[in-house]
Amino acid sequence: MNISRLLAIFLAAWALACQQTSTQDFLNTEIGAIDSSPPAPLVPTNGAATASLNVQLFWTARAGISQYMVEVSRTNDFTAPIAGSPFTASGTTLTVTVPDAVTHWWRVKTLIMKGEAITGRFEAMNDSVYVYCAHSTSCADTGKVGNKSYPFETLRTAISTAKVSGKSVKVASRGGGEVAYAESITLADGISMFGGYDSTFAEDQRSAATNITLVSSGAIPVTAALISRATTFEGFKIQGLLGFALYIDQSDSNLTIRGNTILAGDVTNANTQAVYCNKSSARLIRNIITGGQVTNPASSGQGLGINLQECSGIIDGNTITGGISQGASSTGMLVATESNPIVTNNVISGGNPLGAGNTIGVNLITGSDGVFVNNTIMGGISASGQSHAIIVNGNNLATPVAPVIENNILFTRGGVSNRYCINETGSAGYSNPASVRNNLFLNCPTALYRNVDGGTTLLTTIAAVNDYAQSLCAACTNNVSGNVTISGGQNPFVDISSQNYRLQNNGSPMTAQEWLNIAYGGLDASGTAKGSVTTDRDVVTRTLVGGGALNAGAAGYSMGAYEF
């Protein structure tokens, strides 16, 4: 720049300082065409939801401006800037990463800008869609985008939105769980749902026990149908009002139902069932599942915890309780129509019928098999019916019922009629388990085992049970039945009255040998085709330590759902 040009600029600047010219005239005349008006935010449009936490910002160009200053904040007064704000941009676009799925404000400035900066607002989204409806309001989605600042208020809108974007759905409790999301929902294939949040959606505050996220309706509250991609439903309380609570249909092992409380509703005459599974191999993991009540004293409706029809998934770590029937059975788990589940680490109890109905922990019928390893299974208390831990009910019109029953604790809790730990019924030759090994038979005064092949022979001693069990598993490697009992009816639980079925040596009349048989005497299932049961229902590692001189050569795993 020559001396005359510098002199001209100096004189123009002097005129500006003396208020004899305007800033804009100075800039345009002496330096070149420069627009000092505030840049206007263009994208995201005001109030729009973003696709992710990586947000691309666009604004209007201003003539003669080569650098812009961009501010992004979580408050509209810009007192809570995100990391790195303010940013410097040499063009009219900038990509920023915001920290959370909440409302953000942004504005663009220049060094010679006149007037106030124009503020824009966008709703940041992450990989989840959020749902929260305050307990005192009726739920509606008008004006909601599904982030933490403006969560949807209905589950169905959240699910339909998540289906488009492939996001998961996170749901906050309505007032501690006293108020329900009163909807019937169908899970979307590949879209997971997580409850247990409070209204802040803070991950470190998530608790399904504290922030009870209740879903309830007069129809079936939750349906999972045709699921073939990874889908998890976790942390909810499902309350059926008309019998059913959760219906699973034609879904494979990609469906996981985990950490929920699932309660069937009460009905007048029909079956009440917390979980109904049809033609599926879904995984049920660490849920509390309880049947409802049949209220009509003359009804033949059953009270079922789980009803499996052609279902063969993994059922692990659950607490499963049958409902309250009248004249029909109250069953923890009905395994029917050629179902073949893998059942481990569960506490399974028959319900408590009010009338002459039987109470059954597990009832296997119509050609069903299954693997039952390391469970605590019991019949409940019946007013005037029978109590059974397990019924194996085959008939000559169907495929034989042949379950694997190993490492379980089997017992009954009461009833004025017959009480069996295992009851074979149906047709001889069609009701034989594949194996009965390393189980504890406890408190079954009528018979430890009822053998239909022996003309309904009652096996009342553990020696007789083991002789028969050895004949069932003649082809088993190391064919030692290993079933045990406890003298005098002593139980090995911490507190059976409060349903604490963790193991404890309660002393006399339990002998040291009896305790070691329970604590260390279970079959090491990890090395078999039945899969690995290396932890108990509390995810405590099961020991592989023998019981010393009194139990030399023990395989290792404790019996029942809990490690000692």
Residues 26 and 109 in one domain: no
Read off the pLDDT of residues 207-221 as tens digits, 9 standing for 90 and up. Answer: 999 999 999 998 899
400 compared with 154, residue with greater pLDDT: 154
Q: Name the domain count of the chain.
A: 3
Read off the pLDDT of residues 63-98 as tens digits, 9 standing for 90 and up. Answer: 999 899 999 999 999 999 999 999 999 999 999 999
Residues 74 and 12 in one domain: no
Q: CA triplet 4, 8, 14: central angle to 5 degrees?
A: 145
Read off the pLDDT of residues 507-524 as tens digits, 9 standing for 90 and up. Answer: 766 787 888 888 877 877
Residues 68 and 174 in one domain: no
pTM for this model (two decimals): 0.90
Mean model confidence pLDDT for the chain: 88
**Residue ranges making up the domain that contains 28:** 1-33
DSSP state of 158: H
Closest CA relative to residue 238, chosen from 264, 201, 256: 264
Final residue in a domain of this structure, among 88, 123, 158: 123
Is residue 243 one of the residues assigned to a domain?
Answer: yes
Final residue in a domain of this structure, among 263, 293, 313: 263
Is residue 109 one of the residues assigned to a domain?
Answer: yes
Quick one: residue 208, left, alpha or beta (phi over 0 = left, psi -120 to 50 = alpha)?
alpha
Q: Are the beta carbons of 22 and 13 closer than 8 angstroms? A: no
Is residue 305 one of the residues assigned to a domain?
Answer: no
Here the tokens at position 48 are 């729009």
Whether the predicted pLDDT of 308 surpasses 90: yes
Q: Which residues of 495-534 are buried (b: 16+ CB within 10 A; e: fewer)?
A: eeeeeebbbbeeeeebbeebbbbbbbbbbbbeebebeebe
Residues 27 and 74 in one domain: no
